[in-house]
Amino acid sequence: MPFRTRYTGLIERYRDRLPVHDDTRIISLGEGNTPLIRLNNIPRQLEKDVDIYVKYEGLNPTGSFKDRGMTMAVTKAVEEGSKAIICASTGNTSAAAAAYAARAGITAFVLIPDGKIAMGKLAQAMMHGAVTIQIKGNFDDGMRLVKDVASHAPVTIVNSINPYRLQGQKTASFEIVEELGHAPDYHCLPVGNAGNITAHWIGYREYSCTTADKVTEACAYCNGKCKFAGGAVTGKQPVMVGYQASGSAPFLRGGPVEDPDTVATAIRIGNPQSWHQAWKVKEESGGWFDECTDEEILAAQKLLAQQEGVFCEPASATSLAGAMRDVKSGKIPEGSSIVCTLTGNGLKDPDTAIQQSTSPVLTIDAELDEVKRAILNNME
Ligand SMILES: *Cc1c(COP(=O)(O)O)cnc(C)c1O
């Protein structure tokens, strides 16, 4: 085997653990392999002895974890002869679908909620040449329409109800286990449709079940068939914790939410498509669901940007907002290692960032004295 230094995406990297054939044409933009950043300042401020890592999924090619699922979904759609893909989206799925369709040379149709999508995401869908359909309704309406139309037209759905999406997304857990040498004690995620929390659990399960001496109890996801052949991992699995925004928290309300509303538009979802899977993940991992207010979400987004230099979009900060609260209360005990998934890049939603920023922007004359004064007046 030649020594390969060029990273060519997660399908190539985890080929033996994904449903692809030797001759499958891989549609990739080099997604995955994202940084796992250990937080320095925030744990110190919490005055708790915990290790918090953020998995910065905003550094994927289109700026969110959706690329992990989309490389698989589009690769399989093309393999199956599909000429068009379709999705409903709060923004990031449409951005990823548009980009991977462009790469594959097929058409993407994206249904987005009229006016409720962050500007960066809309720009991406348009720039990559997707057919953008704004609907006078929310994500849940779009999802219903996509399911209906796909049974009447030759298009492949690439929402997370497409099982290949979760297969691609499970690789985030592989990367985390490989990087830490073991699974973390807790894994915290924002929850919208709940596909990603499900995918992460599949990833952790596959990793640990195949490294056990033998697969005694066939894992519900792979039935003991996955081909992963060991590595420096223990059989440990994390407790999975999912946080929803208070204005769109169906898991906390016990049923679908009619008019979901939150500043975290990526999780503005009232009727999660992976409802049952996510509850199974919670049961199996001994985890829990909780909610965060918009204020908590925005405060965590800002804290992360200002204290750690990491800029994520509002929905992503929900994982950290919830984790910080549970660390403070002791629900997540001291001594724990915690991974928070930062699902999307802060640049996706510049409007929200600028609106809530309190950092000074000074306007001065183009004179040396004025610059000097601005510096001296603003030294810490
Ligand atoms: C899609 C998305 C989510 C929600 O993920 P689900 O799999 O729907 O639970 C969270 N944050 C961002 C930035 C997203 O794009």
The verdict on whether residue 92 carries a ligand-binding annotation is yes
pLDDT one-digit tens code per residue, 251-280: 999 999 999 999 999 999 999 999 999 999
The verdict on whether residue 378 carries a ligand-binding annotation is no
The whole-model pTM stands at 0.93
Q: What is the CATH number of domain 10-63+163-356?
A: 3.40.50.1100
- Residue range 81-89: mean pLDDT, rounded: 97
Centre a 10 Å sphere on the Cβ of residue 18 and count the other Cβ atoms it contains: 23
The verdict on whether residue 235 carries a ligand-binding annotation is no
Residue 4 has pLDDT above 90, yes or no: no
The verdict on whether residue 159 carries a ligand-binding annotation is no
**Which residues lie closer than 8 Å to 182 by C-beta, 6 or more apart?**
233, 234, 236
Closest ligand 1 atom to the C-alpha of 312? 13
Q: What is the mean pLDDT of the chain?
A: 92
Residue 175 has pLDDT above 80, yes or no: yes
**Which residues lie closer than 8 Å to 93 by C-beta, 6 or more apart?**
66, 70, 87, 110, 158, 159, 160
pLDDT of residue 116: 82
pLDDT one-digit tens code per residue, 58-84: 999 999 999 999 999 999 999 999 999
pLDDT one-digit tens code per residue, 108-158: 999 999 888 899 999 999 999 999 999 999 999 999 999 999 999 999 999
**Which residues lie closer than 8 Å to 173 by C-beta, 6 or more apart?**
183, 187, 199, 200, 201, 202, 203, 204, 207
Ligand 1: distance of its center to the CA of 314 in Å? 11
- Residue range 38-57: mean pLDDT, rounded: 97
As a whole-number percent, the residues of the chain with pLDDT over 90 amount to 86
pLDDT of residue 275: 97
Helix (H) / strand (E) element for 12: namely helix 10-13
Q: What is the CA radius of gyration of the chain?
A: 21
The verdict on whether residue 265 carries a ligand-binding annotation is no
Residue 181's alpha-carbon distances to 142, 178, 230, in angstroms, are 41, 5, 12
Closest ligand 1 atom to the C-alpha of 242? 9
pLDDT one-digit tens code per residue, 92-112: 999 999 999 999 999 999 999
Residue of 212 and 63 predicted with greater confidence: 63
CATH 3.40.50.1100 in the chain is located at 10-63+163-356, 65-157
Structure tokens belonging to residue 185: 């004690």
**Residue 189 Cβ contacting ligand 1 at under 6 Å:** no
Ligand 1: residue whose CA is nearest its atom 2:
266
Ligand 1: residue whose CA is nearest its atom 8:
193
**Residue 193 Cβ contacting ligand 1 at under 6 Å:** yes
Ligand 1: distance of its center to the CA of 229 in Å? 30
Per-residue pLDDT band for 2 (boundaries 50, 70, 90) equals low
> Domain 65-157 falls in which CATH fold?
Rossmann fold (3.40.50)
Q: What is the largest CA-CA distance in the chain?
A: 75
pLDDT of residue 78: 98
**Residue 194 Cβ contacting ligand 1 at under 6 Å:** yes
Q: What is the Cβ-side half-sphere exposure of residue 267, based on CA atoms within 13 angstroms? A: 36
**Residue 62 Cβ contacting ligand 1 at under 6 Å:** no
Backbone angles phi, psi at 319, to 5 degrees: -65, -45
What sign results for the dihedral spanned by CA atoms 192, 195, 196, 200?
positive
The amino acid present at 29, given as its one-letter code, is L
How many separate helices (H) and strands (E) can be counted in the chain?
15, 10
Ligand 1: distance of its center to the CA of 365 in Å? 44
Residue 216 has pLDDT above 80, yes or no: no
**Residue 319 Cβ contacting ligand 1 at under 6 Å:** no
Per-residue pLDDT band for 232 (boundaries 50, 70, 90) equals very low
Please check whether residue 86 is in contact with residue 156, taking contact to mean a CB–CB distance below 8 angstroms: yes
pLDDT of residue 207: 78
Residue 230 has pLDDT above 50, yes or no: no
* b/e per residue 85-112 (b: at least 16 CB within 10 A): bbbbbbbbbbbbbbbbbbbbebbbbbbb
**Residue 99 Cβ contacting ligand 1 at under 6 Å:** no
| Alpha carbons 320 and 304: distance in angstroms, whole number | 9
- Residue range 327-334: mean pLDDT, rounded: 98
